[in-house]
Structure 1
C-alpha cells in the first residue's frame, strides 16, 4: 500500500472512505476538528446518527455512514479508541486494522485517515501505518473464488492527516517508513506460516532465508545434513531422521559497515523451524496435527525481523539468526522413545516423547549460537501446549533468569504492541527432567510443561543472558481481530525489531571509551558451516 502524510486542519484527505478515530467523550461538545468538519458538511447528522446508534468511542466500537455526496469521501467511519488516559498505540493499531478490513469489504481503493492527537505523533503514525498494512493482509491464494476475483478493486492508497498543530517532519517520515517495512515483513512471515507444509519444506524455508538476506543486506549461509553432522548436532539429526525432506541449517548475519561496530558482541536470535510436526512415533491425533504447519512460526518471525534490522534499523552491532529447519515424521528410520541422543554440547538426552522435538533442535541451535559469544540470546518457539493453557491465544510466555535481559524484551514487546507475560524458570521443576540412563530426559511430567521445556533449553545457553519466548498460542490467531485474520500472525517480529532499535539507541548514546578503557580485542566467533553446495550463499 502507498502512504502519504498531510498536515494542516484544512488539508484534503482523499479516498472513498474517511476514517476518524475518537476517544470516549469526544462525540459531544469536545469533538475534535476532523469530526466537527465532517459533521458540519453532513448538516449535523453525523454525530446525531452515531449517538442514536450507541457509538460512544469505546474500544472496538465502529460506526459507518454514507455521505450522500456531501463530502469528498463516499463514507465516514468512526472508530472507538476508549479512554484517553489509558491509551496505548496498540489500540490505534487494532482500530486501523478494522478500518482496513472495512475498506476492503466496501471495495474502496483509497482511504483517508485522520490521525488522532496523542502524546507522541510518531508512535501514532507508525501504529496507523502498521494497522492498515497488517489489516489488508489476506491469505487466499488457494481459493478459486479469490483467483476469479483477482481484478476487483483493492485498497492500495492511504492518506494520513496529521493532528492540528503537527507538521510533517523527518521523524514522522521515518516512523511511516519503519511501520510500513515492518508490517510488510510481518505479512511476509504470515505467508510463510500460512502456506501448507507441502510448500514450505526445510529447503523452501532456507530459500526464504536467502530472500530475506538479499532484501536486508545480510549474509546467508545454508548448510545441509553433512554440515549438521560436522557440527555434532545429535539432537537435530535425531529429530530429522524420520523424514525424507532434507534438513537445513540456516545462519543469517547482519554486520555493521563501521569496523569498530562490527567487532561488538552480536545479538543472537534463534527461531524454531519444524516445518511440519506429526509428533513422530509419538503420533499426534488428527485434530492436533492439522495446524502443525505453523510449528515454524518462530523462524518466520526471526527472518522477518532480520529483514527490517538489516534494511531499516542498521544497529551499531552485529545481529545473527540461527535456524535449524526440519520435519518431525514417523518412519522406519525415525528416532524412538528410549533412544539416547548426544547434543552438540556433549550432554546426553533420553527420549521419552518424540513429540517434544522442538526443544531438541533448539538445544543444538542455542549451543551453536552461544559459541559466537553473543551479548544475549533470544529464542522464539511454538514450544508447548502448556503455555497456551496458561496464557491463551494472545499472550506470549517469556522465560529467563537474567532480569535485565527479560525486562528489556518485555519493555520492547509493550512498545511494539505484543503482549507477553513472564513465567518462572524454577529449579524446583528440574526433577521432572531427571533421567536414570542419561544426563536428562527431553520430556517430563504434564504439570508445569512450559517451565519444563524452558528448563531443558536453559541447559544449552551457559552463562549467556537468554530469553525464551513461547509463542505457541499467539503464533496463530483463532479468529479475526483488529488487524489479525484467522491464521498466522507473525508474532514476535515487531518485538525483536523494537528490541534492536532500543539497544541501538543505547549503544549510540554511550561515550567512546578512552584508550585506557578500550576493551581487549574481541574473541573470534565460532566458524559457521559452509553451504551445502560449496561456497556459502551470500546476498
Structure 2
C-alpha cells in the first residue's frame, strides 16, 4: 500500500473515502464544514439528528454525499480539544481504519485539519497517522496454509496545505520507514521457535546487509565466542541443539571516525527456563523472548530507509534455552568475557547471561552510548503493567533522552532506580556475582547485574517484558515496541551530533 500527501479542494478530491473530523458536541471541523457547505447543509442535518456526537473514536460512514467528488465520507469523532492525547489519537485512527478495512475501499484520504493529537506539531501528526494506520493493516500469515486475502486498500492520502508540503513529505517517509521497522519486529516476534532460531536471525541480518550499501553484518559463531571468553552467553545454549550466535550489524551513516551508538538486543528464540523449567501454561509465549532482538532489527530496518547521519552498531545475543543432559545447572559457575565469574542460581534468568557478554563485546566499538533491550523480568510487568517500558540507566542525561524520545514517539518508558543498595542482593559465596537477587526488586537487580558490565560507557537498559507482546484473543502477538522509541532516540542523537559538528549549542 502507498501513502501520499494530497493538496487541493477536498470537495473535488477523487477518492473512495474521505475522512473528516467531528469535534465534541457535534461541532464541525473546517474540512467537515467545507463538505457541509458543498452539500447544502447535509452534514449538519445528520449531526442535528444525533447520529454522531463527535465523541473520540466515534464513526459514521456516509454514501454519495451530494456536491462532492468523494464516493464516501467517513465522519470521525475527535472528542474535546482539551482532552486530546496520543492515546486518544491512536484510538481515533484505529476506529477509522476499522471502518475502511471492513469495506471494499481501495483509496482513502484523511482531512483532519491538524486536529488529531495533543499538539499542533505537523511532522509528528503526519508521521503518527502513517505509523498507526499502517500498523492497523498488519496481518501475520507466514505460517498459515491459507494466506490473507490481498489488501483492498491501495492508497492512503493525507490532506495538507501546499505551504506544509516539505515537512509533510518528510514525515510521511519517516512514518513509512517506521511502519516497515515495526512490521519487521512483529514478524520476527510472531514466528515460532522452530523457525526463528539463532541461525535464522543471523540469516536475516546477512540478507538485510546485502540489500543496504552502508550496512554490514558479522556473525560470531560459538567457536569464536569461546575464544573471546564469552562463556556466560554460551552457557545458555548448552542444552540446545541450536547453536548460539552473536549477530553484529553496523550501520554507517556518518563519518567513519564518528563513534557509534550501540543497541544490544536479547535474542532468546525460545525460553523453556532450562533446568529451572517454566510452568507449562502459556509457555508457547516464550517464543516472544527474542522481542528485544526483534526491536533492534526493526530499528535498524527503519534506519536503513531513513538514512540519518549517524553510526549505529546493533548487537544481538541469540540463543535457545533448553533442558538436556548438556544444559547448565543451578549452582554452576561460568566466567564472562569481562573475566567476572557468575554463579547461576536460576537458569531461567538467562537473558542477563547473554546480555552481559554482548555488553562487554560492545566496548570494542568505543561507543557514545549503549542501550540494551530485553524481555528481561516478569517483575517489570508487576511494576508497570503493559503500558510502559521499564528504563534503568547509569547516566541521567541518557535516561532523560530516552524518556523524551519515548514521549515524542508515543512509545512510553518509565525510569526505575538503579541504587547501590540493590547490588548487595547479588552477592555470592562462590563467585563474583549471582545471576538473581531474589523476588524483591527483581527488575532492578536484573539491571544491577548488567550494570556490572557497563562501567566504561554510558548505558541504559529497557525492559520490555510487559510491552513486547499481547497475550489475549485476536490481539495476541508481538507489538513491535520499542521500535518507535529506539528510532526516535537515534534520530535525536543524529540531529544532536550534527549540531555538535557545526559548533552549535
**What is the CA distance between 1:227 and its match in structure 2?**
1.5
Number of aligned residue pairs: 498
Q: Which moved more, 1:213-222 or 1:246-255?
A: 213-222
Instruction: Quote the residue 1:150 is aligned against.
Output: 149
8 A Cα contact 2:266 2:375, kept in partner: yes
Give distance in 2, aligned partners of 1:242 and 1:390.
32
Instruction: Quote the residue 1:76 is aligned against.
Output: 73
Describe the shift of the 1:410–1:44 C-alpha distance in structure 2 as closer, same or farther (beyond 3 A): same
Describe the shift of the 1:454–1:53 C-alpha distance in structure 2 as closer, same or farther (beyond 3 A): farther
Instruction: Quote the residue 1:266 is aligned against.
Output: 260
Describe the shift of the 1:383–1:81 C-alpha distance in structure 2 as closer, same or farther (beyond 3 A): farther
3-state SS of the aligned residue for 2:365? coil
Q: Deviations over 1:86-122 (max 9, x none)?
A: 5445643443233223211223221111133252222
Q: Which moved more, 1:388-397 or 1:65-74?
A: 65-74
**Which among 59, 64, 81 is matched to residue 63 of structure 1?**
59
**What is the CA distance between 1:54 and its match in structure 2?**
7.1
Q: 2:486 matched to 1:496? A: yes
3-state SS of the aligned residue for 2:269? strand
Instruction: Quote the residue 1:167 is aligned against.
Output: 163
**What is the CA distance between 1:313 and its match in structure 2?**
3.4
Describe the shift of the 1:425–1:12 C-alpha distance in structure 2 as closer, same or farther (beyond 3 A): farther
8 A Cα contact 2:231 2:336, kept in partner: yes
3-state SS of the aligned residue for 1:221? strand
**What is the CA distance between 1:396 and its match in structure 2?**
0.5
Unmatched runs of 5 consecutive residues or more in structure 1: 514-539
The 5 Å alignment of 1:331-370 reads 331-370=324-363
**Which among 356, 365, 373 is matched to residue 380 of structure 1?**
373
Give distance in 2, aligned partners of 1:385 and 1:54.
45
**Which among 388, 394, 416 is matched to residue 401 of structure 1?**
394
Give distance in 1, aligned partners of 2:247 and 2:216.
11
Instruction: Quote the residue 1:20 is aligned against.
Output: 20
Give distance in 2, aligned partners of 1:101 and 1:143.
23
Give distance in 2, aligned partners of 1:491 and 1:13.
36
Give distance in 1, aligned partners of 2:14 and 2:90.
21
Q: 2:403 matched to 1:410? A: yes
Instruction: Quote the residue 1:284 is aligned against.
Output: 278
8 A Cα contact 1:18 1:77, kept in partner: yes
**What is the CA distance between 1:32 and its match in structure 2?**
2.1
> TM-score, with normalisation over the residues of structure 1?
0.87
8 A Cα contact 2:468 2:479, kept in partner: yes
Instruction: Quote the residue 2:123 is aligned against.
Output: 122
The 5 Å alignment of 1:213-232 reads 213-216=209-212, 217-232=214-229
Unmatched runs of 5 consecutive residues or more in structure 2: none
Describe the shift of the 1:227–1:128 C-alpha distance in structure 2 as closer, same or farther (beyond 3 A): same
Cα RMSD (Å): 2.4
**What is the CA distance between 1:17 and its match in structure 2?**
2.5
Q: Which moved more, 1:118-127 or 1:436-445?
A: 118-127
3-state SS of the aligned residue for 1:425? coil
Describe the shift of the 1:488–1:159 C-alpha distance in structure 2 as closer, same or farther (beyond 3 A): same
The 5 Å alignment of 1:121-140 reads 121-140=122-141
